[in-house]
Amino acid sequence: MDYQQVIARVAQNWSTVEAEVNNAVADAGRDRNDVRVVGVTKYVDAAATAALVAAGCDQLGENRPQVLWEKAESGLIADSVQWHLIGHLQRNKVRRSLQYRPIIHSIDSPRLLECVAEESHAAGFVTQVMLEVNVSGEANKTGMDQETLEVLVERCSGAKDGASLRNVEVIGLMAMAGWGTDLQAARQQFFLVRKLRDHLRATYRLPLSQLSMGMSGDFQAAIAEGATMVRIGSRLFEGVMEKH
Ligand X SMILES: *Cc1c(COP(=O)(O)O)cnc(C)c1O
The contact set with ligand X (CB under 6 A) reads 40, 42, 63, 86-87, 176, 215-217, 231-235
Nearer to ligand X, 109 or 167 (CB): 109
- CA angle in degrees (0–180, nearest 5) for 30-31-34: 105
- Contact between 232 and 55 under an 8 Å Cβ cutoff? The reply is no
**In the complex, what is the shortest distance from the CB of residue 91 to ligand X, in angstroms, rounded to a whole number?**
19
Q: Where are the alpha helices (DSSP H) in 34-138?
A: 46-55, 65-72, 94-98, 110-123
**In the complex, what is the shortest distance from the CB of residue 204 to ligand X, in angstroms, rounded to a whole number?**
25
Nearer to ligand X, 98 or 215 (CB): 215
**In the complex, what is the shortest distance from the CB of residue 238 to ligand X, in angstroms, rounded to a whole number?**
10
**In the complex, what is the shortest distance from the CB of residue 90 to ligand X, in angstroms, rounded to a whole number?**
16
- Contact between 227 and 105 under an 8 Å Cβ cutoff? The reply is no
Nearer to ligand X, 115 or 176 (CB): 176
Nearer to ligand X, 115 or 130 (CB): 130
Q: Are strands 103-107 and 168-174 parallel, antiparallel or unpaired?
A: unpaired
**In the complex, what is the shortest distance from the CB of residue 160 to ligand X, in angstroms, rounded to a whole number?**
31
The identity of residue 225, as a single letter, is E
- CA angle in degrees (0–180, nearest 5) for 220-224-187: 75
**In the complex, what is the shortest distance from the CB of residue 217 to ligand X, in angstroms, rounded to a whole number?**
6
Closest among 155, 100, 89, 159 to 125, alpha carbons compared: 100
Residues β-bridged to residue 61 = 40, 84
Residue closest to ligand X when measured from CB atoms: 233
Number of residues that this document lists for the chain: 244
Can you list the positions of beta strands (E) in the chain?
36-40, 59-62, 82-85, 103-107, 127-132, 168-174, 210-212, 229-232
Nearer to ligand X, 87 or 102 (CB): 87
**In the complex, what is the shortest distance from the CB of residue 136 to ligand X, in angstroms, rounded to a whole number?**
13
Nearer to ligand X, 178 or 201 (CB): 178
Contacts with 53 (C-beta within 8 Å, 6 or more apart), sequence order: 60, 77, 78, 81
Contacts with 205 (C-beta within 8 Å, 6 or more apart), sequence order: 157, 158
Nearer to ligand X, 152 or 232 (CB): 232
